[in-house]
């Protein structure tokens, strides 16, 4: 297994726009720290993993099992099994992972401890049962987000159309920071929604959202460190 990957990235900033009328933030108990990921095995971005490989995540405290199941999503709806063992999550294939394929695992901030504190940041894992992982990365920050609310972002191929659907979806952390990784070079656009992203065209009428202000992001071998 190897993590010898050179990443080429673009940094962007999105501003969260109000759509629906917003009420004031109510008071409550003082913020408490949610679960924090301590280790993951195998290492994130490992190549040539076994088709039977178990992904083991260890946290710094016990997890509320009720919050876990709905917080895990595998891209392309890969069939998987899940075990929750106190501070550990074990994700493994129902039969085998696809041969020579990318495996993306997105874990929402909504995983909680027994005091109902959710994580400060989501977890994004990418593996390959083959020898390659695309090395493009888009990182950025959303301005104007509420740290208590979840925000999902979708990555879209350019040019956009009314029927465009996201090719990758991630969640921002409590500071509004996000990252798309394992991306092939090309032209892309990004949209964000407060809540669960499904159909952006319909959701912007009812939810707070953010859209890329430039026409598109061009991710190339020479894009490292570029800001848009």
Q: Could you read off the pLDDT of 151-167 as tens digits, one per residue?
A: 999 999 999 888 889 99
**What pLDDT is stored for residue 223 in this prediction?**
66
Tokens 């039977």 belong to residue: 52
CB-CB neighbours of 132 under 10 Å: 12
Cα-atom radius of gyration of the chain, to the nearest Å?
A: 18
**What pLDDT is stored for residue 5 in this prediction?**
34
Residues 119/111, Cβ–Cβ less than 8 Å: yes
Indicate the pairing of strand 186-194 with strand 102-107.
unpaired
Low-confidence ranges of the chain (pLDDT < 50): 1-7, 20-28, 30-31, 225-226
Residues 138/183, Cβ–Cβ less than 8 Å: yes
Kindly state the tokens that stand for 227.
């800001």
Residues 174/31, Cβ–Cβ less than 8 Å: no
pTM above 0.75, yes or no: yes
What would the 3-class secondary structure string for the chain be?
CCCCCCCEEEEEEEECECCCCCCCCCCCCCCCCCCCEEEEECCCCCCCCCCCCCEEEEECCCCCHHHHHHHEEEHHHCCEEEEEECCEEEEEECCCCCCCCEEEEEECCCCECCCCCECCCCEEEEEECCCCCCCEEEEEEEECCCCCCCEEEEEEECCCCCCCCCCEEEECCCCCEEEEEEECCEEEEEEEEECCCCCHHHHCCCCCEEECCCCCEEECCCCCCEEC
């Amino acid at each position: 297994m190897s993590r010898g990957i050179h990443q080429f990235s673009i940094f962007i900033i999105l501003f969260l726009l109000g759509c629906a009328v917003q009420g004031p933030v109510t008071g409550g108990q003082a913020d408490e720290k949610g679960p924090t990921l301590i280790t993951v095995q195998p290492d994130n971005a490992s190549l040539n993993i076994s088709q039977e490989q178990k992904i083991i995540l260890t946290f710094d405290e016990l997890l509320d099992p009720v919050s876990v199941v709905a917080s895990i999503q595998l891209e392309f709806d890969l069939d998987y099994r899940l075990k929750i063992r106190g501070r550990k999550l074990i994700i493994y294939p129902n039969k085998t992972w696809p041969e020579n394929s990318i495996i993306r695992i997105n874990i929402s901030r909504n995983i909680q401890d027994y005091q109902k504190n959710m994580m400060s940041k989501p977890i994004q894992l990418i593996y390959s049962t083959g020898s390659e992982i695309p090395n493009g990365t888009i990182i950025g920050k959303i301005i104007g987000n509420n740290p208590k609310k979840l925000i999902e972002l979708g990555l879209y191929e350019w040019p956009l159309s009314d029927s465009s659907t996201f090719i990758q979806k991630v969640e921002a952390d409590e500071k509004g920071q996000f990252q798309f990784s394992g991306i092939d070079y090309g032209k892309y656009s990004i949209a964000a929604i407060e809540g669960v992203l499904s159909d952006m065209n319909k959701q912007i009428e009812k939810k707070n959202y953010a859209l890329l202000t430039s026409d598109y992001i061009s991710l190339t071998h020479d894009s490292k460190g570029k800001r848009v």
